[in-house]
């Protein structure tokens, strides 16, 4: 029996150490280019010193502290001003450590809150400890998570904040702060989630969080910044990001999720109208329900990816929901639903270079470039006619989420204490 436990412990340790060693090797080899982390630091420091970081609207990049960094929301100034002054190796190492800890904790929290695990299972050699290590391994080596680590994104931290609103301490103030932090650091995450939350009766949570969001957005004024000039420059720069030839447009990037890959813009607009129609239907259908089902949250996040700016790495927001569904389908022996959900999860683990080669092969279909934007030589890869496979994955994920939302009977319930509601909800018949 002892030998079996040692075997479980050895395999679990190996599964956990592999992604950590991979990150360390990438760091040592200089393969990590945390440009987004540089952005948070550079914009915050510039504003903190009373300098407008958006003086030139002709380019989507600006240079500060010797780094070329993309545009970020000015309301983040107070959150990242202090880290900006320790920019360099120290901040990058701290960032990597935080993301590793968040990944380990987020997977553990998901398994405990929604999959029947106990905290003691993670320190006890056995099948559950091995299962936890496997989940950590799969989530850590995914293209989504590695892109986050490589580019310095904070999406993984925001994912913990999102689920912390449901699973965190029963403190209204903490929940409000988490919601406001998500809003000011990546407001596009809340495009669908926030309206549904509001229609479910959580008005106080939405309003109080919005007040904090506004205060943080106005905070650059305390350092002598002209808010009108700063925000004018910010929105002009954001607008430029989506123009042809810029990094958020499909003629330059294949990993965007939003609906904008058709060369005939009217098709993109029609698809977005359909998505907005589904969102309105969701709000109408859910406003009397007092909880968020896991399938509702999966569907709302999938819809968010389609209508607002998101890259493939943002799919990490749905990883806890993948785990919840997979464990539930195994428990209830719903193998068709299990295989379908696992397919989307496995896709996220396929290395990006393989996906690029597959996309390049699809892009060679005759006359496809007259309908859809194709990319040549993305990120230095010598590939021609790269097809934007990511939005099609997101569309398929949305349709699958809609199927699960309508057909899964025993859904996991994410609940927010009733004290955050202005009016007690009525249960659906």
For 370-386, the pLDDT digits (tens) are 999 999 888 777 888 99
pLDDT at 278: 95
State the pLDDT confidence band at 427, using cuts at 50, 70 and 90: very low
More confident residue, 362 or 236: 362
Find the mean pLDDT for residues 256-271. Answer: 92
- The secondary structure of 316-343 as a DSSP string is GGGHHHHHHHHHHHHHHT-HHHHHHHHH
Is 183 contained in some domain?
Answer: no
Instruction: List all residues 6 or more positions away from 322 whose beta carbon is below 8 Å from its beta carbon.
Output: 341, 344, 345
Cα–Cα distance for residue pair 168/194, rounded to 1 Å: 18
Is 49 contained in some domain?
Answer: no
State the pLDDT confidence band at 235, using cuts at 50, 70 and 90: confident
- CA atoms 288, 294, 299, 302: torsion sign: positive
Asked if the model's pLDDT at residue 129 lies above 60, the reply is yes
pLDDT at 153: 92
Asked if the model's pLDDT at residue 1 lies above 80, the reply is no
Is 163 contained in some domain?
Answer: no
Question: Is 47:226 a contact under the CB 8 Å cutoff?
Answer: no
- Alpha helices by DSSP H, listed for 168-202, are 172-185, 190-199
**pTM exceeds cut of 0.75:** yes
Is 281 contained in some domain?
Answer: yes
State the pLDDT confidence band at 416, using cuts at 50, 70 and 90: confident
Residue 142, phi then psi, degrees to nearest 5? -60, 150
**How many structural domains comprise the chain?**
1
Is 409 contained in some domain?
Answer: yes
Contacts by 48-56, CB closer than 8 A, 24 or more apart: 48/77, 48/81, 48/84, 48/223, 49/223, 50/223, 50/224, 50/225, 52/225, 52/226, 52/229, 52/230, 52/233, 53/230, 53/233, 54/230, 54/233, 54/234, 54/236, 54/237, 55/233
More confident residue, 338 or 46: 338
Find the mean pLDDT for residues 147-155. Answer: 92
Asked if the model's pLDDT at residue 156 lies above 70, the reply is yes
pLDDT at 56: 61
Cα–Cα distance for residue pair 187/216, rounded to 1 Å: 13
State the pLDDT confidence band at 334, using cuts at 50, 70 and 90: very high
Instruction: List all residues 6 or more positions away from 55 whose beta carbon is below 8 Å from its beta carbon.
Output: 62, 233
pLDDT at 418: 62
Question: Is 162:187 a contact under the CB 8 Å cutoff?
Answer: no
pLDDT above 70: percentage of residues in the chain: 93
What does each C-alpha distance from 302 to 99, 190, 250, 267, 366 come to in angstroms?
Answer: 23, 12, 19, 19, 30
- The secondary structure of 358-371 as a DSSP string is HHHHHTTSTTGGGT
Question: Is 409:337 a contact under the CB 8 Å cutoff?
Answer: no
Is 215 contained in some domain?
Answer: no
Find the mean pLDDT for residues 172-191. Answer: 94
Find the mean pLDDT for residues 285-299. Answer: 90
Is 209 contained in some domain?
Answer: no
Strand partners, 68: 63
pLDDT at 224: 93
Question: Is 47:220 a contact under the CB 8 Å cutoff?
Answer: yes
First to last CA, the chain: 51
Is 420 contained in some domain?
Answer: no
- Alpha helices by DSSP H, listed for 219-362, are 227-241, 265-286, 294-307, 319-332, 335-349, 352-362
Range(s) of the domain holding residue 270: 243-415
More confident residue, 242 or 50: 50
State the pLDDT confidence band at 126, using cuts at 50, 70 and 90: very high
Question: Tokens in use for 305?
Answer: 């990816």
Residue 128 neighbours by CB distance under 10 Å: 19
Question: Is 220:228 a contact under the CB 8 Å cutoff?
Answer: no
- The secondary structure of 21-58 as a DSSP string is HHHHHHHHTT----HHHHHHHHHHHHHHTT--S----S
Of residues 284, 259, 270, the one with CA closest to residue 394: 259
């Amino acid at each position: 029996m002892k030998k079996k436990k040692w075997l479980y412990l050895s395999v679990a340790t190996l599964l956990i150490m592999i992604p950590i060693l991979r990150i360390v090797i990438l760091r040592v080899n200089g393969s990590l280019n945390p440009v987004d982390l540089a952005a948070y630091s550079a914009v915050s420091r510039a504003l903190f010193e009373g300098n407008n970081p958006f003086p030139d609207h002709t380019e989507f990049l600006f240079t500060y502290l010797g780094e070329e960094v993309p545009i970020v929301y000015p309301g983040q100034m107070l959150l990242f001003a202090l880290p900006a002054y320790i920019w360099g190796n120290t901040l990058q190492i701290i960032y990597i450590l935080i993301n590793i800890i968040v990944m380990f904790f987020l997977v553990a929290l998901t398994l405990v809150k929604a999959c029947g695990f106990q905290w003691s299972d993670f320190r006890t050699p056995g099948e559950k400890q091995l299962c936890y290590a496997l989940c950590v391994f799969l989530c850590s080596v995914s293209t989504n998570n590695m892109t986050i680590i490589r580019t310095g994104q904070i999406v993984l931290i925001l994912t913990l904040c999102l689920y912390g609103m449901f699973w965190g301490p029963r403190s209204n103030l903490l929940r409000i702060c988490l919601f406001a932090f998500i809003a000011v650091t990546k407001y596009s995450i809340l495009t669908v989630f926030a309206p549904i939350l509001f229609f479910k009766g959580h008005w106080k949570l939405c309003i109080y969080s919005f007040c904090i969001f506004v205060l943080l957005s106005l905070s650059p004024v305390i350092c002598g910044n002209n808010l009108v000039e700063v925000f004018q420059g910010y929105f002009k720069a954001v607008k430029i990001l989506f123009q042809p030839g810029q990094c958020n447009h499909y003629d330059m990037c294949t990993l965007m999720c939003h609906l904008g890959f058709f060369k005939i813009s009217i098709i993109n607009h029609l698809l977005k109208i359909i998505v907005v129609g589904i969102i309105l239907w969701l709000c109408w259908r859910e406003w009397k329900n007092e909880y968020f089902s896991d399938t509702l949250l999966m569907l709302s996040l999938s819809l968010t990816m389609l209508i607002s700016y998101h890259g493939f790495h943002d799919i990490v927001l749905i990883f806890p929901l993948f785990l919840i569904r997979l464990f539930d389908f195994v428990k209830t022996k719903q193998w068709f639903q299990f295989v379908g959900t696992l397919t989307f999860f496995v896709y996220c683990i396929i290395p990006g270079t393989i996906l690029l080669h597959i996309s390049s092969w699809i892009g060679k279909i005759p006359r496809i470039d007259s309908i859809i934007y194709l990319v040549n030589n993305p990120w230095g890869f010598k590939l021609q006619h790269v097809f934007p496979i990511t939005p099609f994955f997101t569309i398929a994920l949305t349709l699958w989420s809609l199927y699960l939302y309508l057909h899964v009977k025993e859904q996991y319930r994410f609940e927010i204490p009733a004290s955050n509601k202005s009016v007690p909800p009525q249960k659906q018949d």
